Structure 1
Amino acid sequence: MRLHPDIVQMRAKYELAAEAPTGQAVAGLSFLTGLYLAISPWVVGFTRFTTLTANNLIVGIALAMLAVGFASAYGRTHGMAWIAPLIGVWTIIAPWVVSGQVATTATIWSNVVTGAIALVLGLGATFLGMSRNR
C-alpha cells in the first residue's frame, strides 16, 4: 500500500509544500515557539507555579518536536498537523485550567501570546499541503 501511486503522489505534493519558503517559515517559527514555551517559566519568572511550569515545559517540547517532524518529513507527518493548533489553544487556556493558584499577569500574557502564535502557525501547518495544487 505504501507504494500505491496515489500515496506516493500525495507525499510528493506535501514534500513540495514543506520545501517552499512558507513551509520552512512555518516549521521554523513553530520550532522556536515551542522552544520559547518550554523555557518561558524561567524567562518570565513563574517557576513558583510548578504545575504550569511542568505543563509549559512538556507542551513546548511537544510543539518543538512536532515542528521538527514538519521540517524533516512533512509528507509523513502531515496527518498530525491538527495537533499544533490544539497545542496553541491549550497554551492559551492553561493558566486558568492548570494553575491551582491565581496566575500572575506575566504568566497569562506569556501563555496567551505564545498560544496565539502557536495557534496561527499550527493552522498554517495544517493547511500547508492544501495550498499547492501540483
Structure 2
Amino acid sequence: MATEPISMHPDIAQLRAKYEAVAETQTAQAVEGLTFLAGLYLAISPWVVGFTGFTTLTGNNLIVGIAMALLAIGFAAAYERTHGIAWVMPLVGAWTIVAPWAVSGDVATTSTILSNVVTGGVAVLLGLGAMAIGMRRKS
C-alpha cells in the first residue's frame, strides 16, 4: 500500500492555501515591502548617516539589514512556507535598537542612536504586522 507524503495531506494543503491567500492582500504586501525597504535602509545606513568609521556598528547594520531584507523577500515569495519564522523580525528590530550600546567600541552617538532606534522600532512594528498576517482569516 503506497502512502502519500505528509505535504500532500488535505489539511496541510488547505493551510498553505490559506496563508497564500492572506499573503496576497494589500496589507501583507505593504508590510512585506516596507520591511524590505527598512532592511535596505539599515544595510546602507552607515553610509547614509555617515558613521562608517564605526566598523563594528557598520558591519552589524549591514549584516542585520541584509537579513531583514531577505526575510521580507521570503515573506513576499512564499509566506505559506516562511510564516513560521515571522517572530524573528521583532527580535531583529529589538537588536537593532540596542546595537549602538551592545556592539564593541564607543559607537553610541546621536546619529547612530537615532538611526538605529527609529529603524529598529519600525522593524519591530512591521515584524508584529508580519506575524499578525498569518493569524488573519480570509474574508
TM-score of the superposed pair, with normalisation by structure 2: 0.93
Match of 1:23 in 2: 28
Q: How many residue pairs were aligned?
A: 134
Residue aligned with 1:101, SS = coil
Residue 129 in structure 1 maps to residue 129 in structure 2 = no
Q: Which amino acid aligns with 2:73?
A: V
Q: Is the 8 A contact 1:37 1:56 kept in 2?
A: yes
User: Aligned residues: percent identity?
Assistant: 70
Choose the corresponding residue for 2:82, options 60, 77, 81.
77
Q: Is the 8 A contact 1:49 1:99 kept in 2?
A: no
Q: Which amino acid aligns with 2:63?
A: I
Q: If you compute each CA radius of gyration, which structure gives the higher value, 1 or 2?
A: 2
Q: Map residues 81-100 of structure 1 onto 2, 5 A cutoff.
A: 81-100=86-105
- In structure 2, relative to structure 1, the CA distance for the partners of 1:83 and 1:129 (3 Å cut) is same
- In structure 2, relative to structure 1, the CA distance for the partners of 1:76 and 1:102 (3 Å cut) is closer
Cα-to-partner distance string for 1:77-121 (whole Å, 9 max, x where unaligned): 111111111100000000000141141100000000000000000
1:132 and 1:95 map into 2 onto residues whose CA distance is: 39
Q: Which amino acid aligns with 1:56?
A: N
Match of 1:49 in 2: 54
Structure 1 segments of 4+ aligned residues over 4 angstroms from their partners: none
2:85 and 2:13 map into 1 onto residues whose CA distance is: 18
Q: Map residues 94-133 of structure 1 onto 2, 5 A cutoff.
A: 94-133=99-138
Q: Which amino acid aligns with 1:76?
A: R
Q: How big is the shift at 1:7?
A: 1.0
Query: What is the aligned-residue RMSD (CA, Å)?
Result: 1.0
2:55 and 2:86 map into 1 onto residues whose CA distance is: 29
Q: Which amino acid aligns with 1:43?
A: V
